[in-house]
Every structure is written in C-alpha cells, then in structure tokens.
Amino acid sequence: MEEKSRSGRGSAADAQPRGVEQIIKAAIDRGASDLHIKAGDVFRARIDGKLVPLTKQRLTPEQTRAIALRLMPNEEDRGRLDKLHEYDCSWGVPGVGRFRVNILRQRSSFMIVMRVIPFDIPTFESLKLPSVLATIAAAERGMILVAGITGSGKSSTMAAILNHINQTNQKHVVTLGVDTNDFQAGLRAALRQDPDVILIGEMRDLETVDTAMKAAETGHLVISTLPTPDAVTTVSRVLAMFPPEEQEIARLRLAETLQAVVAQRLLPRADGHGRAAAVEVLICTAAARDIIRDPGRAAELHDYIREASEQYGMQTFDQHLMDLVGEEVITYETALAAATKPADFELQMRTLRRRPRAPEPAEAAPASAPRKR
C-alpha cells in the first residue's frame, strides 16, 4: 500500500468547481459519512448507515480513473496510478470538506472510498457518550482501545477522547495513522519525541500491537482502535495476534497495560433522524486484570462488566440498549436486533415492562381547621 501525508487540493487547472465536487458537497449536506465511487455503478454515499445513490448515470472506468487522478496530491503519484494496487491519501477543498481517501485497483478499474473528516471537533457531550469516558481519558499511562466495525464512529470517539485530553491537560500528543509511510518506524520514532500520548489509527498487526504495548509499559498513554464488535472480542483479538508460544506472557502484558475498551455500534434513531451510539465499556480494575491473566476465565469477562456497572461505570451493550429503549432513543426492535444476547435481552425487557411503577407520592392533605369549643 502506498500512503501520503499531503492533502490533495487539485492543480491550477482544476481550480473551478466541477460536477464531482458538487456531488460530494451535496452528499456532505445530507450528512454522509462515506462516499463510494466505483466503475460500473452510480455515486453512492453512506447516510445514517445506509448506502444511497446520489446519481442516476453509472460511471465508466475512464471516469473513475479521472476522479482518482484528481484526488491524488501530486504529479509523481498520478504518474504511478496504473501501477498501484492500493493508495491512501487525504484530500480537501474549501467549501466542500476534508476526506481520507482510499483508492483500490480492481482488475482493470478503480474503486474509491472517501471518509469524511468533520470540521467540528466532537465532544463526549455532542456524541452522547457515557460520562465515564472522561475518567478513562484522564489515565496517565496504558492502552485505551476503541472498538467497533467499520463505520461505527471509532474515529469520532477517538477525536473526542483526544479533545478532552487537550482541554484538561497540558500533554504532548503524537498522532500516527495514514500519514505515516513506515508505521512501525514511525511509532518507534514517536517514542523518541518525548510524547505523553500516542494516538494510533488502528492496531493492524503483531508488530504494531507489540510496539504499542512497549510504549504503554514505558509510561505512555496509547489510544488506538480495533475493528472488533465488543470488549471481550477485543481482548481475544489482541492476544490472538501473538504466536501460541508467546500468548502466556502476552496475557500478562495486556493485563498490566490495558486501561479500558470502549466498543460501540451506531443504530438508527426512533425518530428517523440520524443514528445513536450504543456503547460497551470495560474498565480494567484489579478484578478485570485477574480475569485477563487467566485463559480459563475468559468467559467471565462479559458477566463482570455487567455486574460492575454501578460501581465502576462499566456497561455491556445490552445494558446500554435497555437504557436507549427506555429513553425512547431507539426502538425495541432495533435494540433486540443489535443485542449481544437477544434471548436474555428480550427476557430482561419483559421483566422491566411487567414491573409495576412506583406509586407517586400523595399530595399532602390540607390541614383541618381547629375545632371550635
């Protein structure tokens, strides 16, 4: 994969607005999070989690190639387009937006995916994330992992965590992502820049995980993402990256360095306007670390999150889904479809619905007038 850190702004010949930019701007105005451009298909945008068509005319391979060239930041890279299999860059136009761009070669044509980078810096409040994230963001060292499938809002949550750190502390933050050609070398170089916080786009492989753990072990706060569906799977995925002969020591290292896992899913709101985040939170208390250390207790982690919710502010997906249904943010049907344990969730919701409401306190009776003697 080729990666570049410079933002493509178009050449002088491209200064005038074109049809593609107008389509992209229209998608942004409708709240799109991603745009999909593919030969043989129409322009599509992901809006509220659904891929919707933006145009009627299908793109030809020549048109898709021309768009790819327009998005690439310099002439050198444009000259190598037909030799590349995959290419990452950033692109932006004033009045349109900023994007992370991935160009993928498929047989003899190209597919382009553009991820929108919001201009407004998100906060915990604007994203309606659990308040316990402020406590998690205050950690001095260790690893905070943000988990979720593609398009679940991980980047926004990471940005909110970083924004909270910048607002409440004076810390040196180093960010590593698509702007780093040799990721492992960049991470090792970052450790020599006296950082307090290291932001990593994604835990991609064993070397990335191992280097991130070393950074956490030497007193840094590392924040990264994994494309995993929940907290328990996140812990398992990290350990599975290590070869079998290293997993015992990897368990000990992860138990010591992991501070928290924040896993999330975006679900359609009941009012039909946008999506709401359902969030699972694991905080690594002493008891959680003991569970992670012991391979025979892996199945206990989910139940521990549920049982420790009131004391530590943790929550499972299903606990948060129940809250969202109770607050009428999402529908019961949406919650049931997204539940980790649908049968248990359905039973708990039935129990809550059957539970009688507490009687409202009766109004105080007016004081009776004193009797006349």
Is residue 163 in a domain?
yes
pLDDT of 139 reads: 95
78 and 109 together in one domain: yes
> CB within 8 A of 243, min separation 6: which ones?
none
Residue 8 lies in a domain: no
Q: Is the pLDDT of residue 18 over 80?
A: no
Residue pair 222/144 in contact (Cβ under 8 Å)? The answer is yes
Residue 342 in this model has a pLDDT that exceeds 90: yes
Residues 158 and 286 in one domain: yes
Domain count, the chain: 2
Asked if residue 204 and residue 89 are part of one domain, the reply reads no
Q: What's the confidence (pLDDT) of residue 177?
A: 61
- Residue 64's domain is classified under what CATH number? 3.30.450.90
- Are 179 and 243 found together in one domain? yes
Rounded to whole angstroms, the Cα distance separating 151 from 323 reads 23
pTM recorded for the entire structure: 0.76
Same domain, 260 and 317: yes
Per the structure block, which two tokens stand in for 317? 């997906």
Question: Would residue 364 count as lying in a domain?
Answer: no
Residue listed under structure tokens 């001095």: 140
**Residue pLDDT, tens place only, 238-297:** 999 999 999 999 999 999 999 999 999 999 999 988 899 999 999 999 999 999 999 999
d(CA 146, CA 155): 9
Q: Is the pLDDT of residue 326 over 60?
A: yes
Is there a contact between 35 and 43 (Cβ–Cβ < 8 Å)?
yes
pLDDT at 321: 97
For the beta carbon of residue 197, count every other beta carbon within 10 angstroms: 23
**Pair (146, 219) in one structural domain:** yes
The verdict on 108 and 142 lying in the same domain is: no
Please state, in angstroms and rounded to a whole number, the distance separating the CA atoms of residues 209 and 222.
11
Residue 324 tokens, joined: 């969202």
Residue 56, in any domain of the structure: yes
Looking at the structure, do residues 204 and 325 belong to the same domain, yes or no? yes
Point out the domain boundary residue: 63, 90, 117. 117
Between 69 and 184, the more confident residue is 69
List the domain range (segments joined by +) for residue 69: 19-117
Q: Is residue 10 part of a domain?
A: no
Instruction: Return the pLDDT at 308.
Output: 94
How far is the CA of 284 from the CAs of 197, 214, 256, 287, in angstroms?
Answer: 19, 18, 9, 8
CA dihedral 208, 211, 215, 221 (to 10 degrees): 10
In terms of domains, do 43 and 175 share one? no
- Is 288 in the same domain as 303? yes
**Interval 137-142 mean pLDDT:** 95
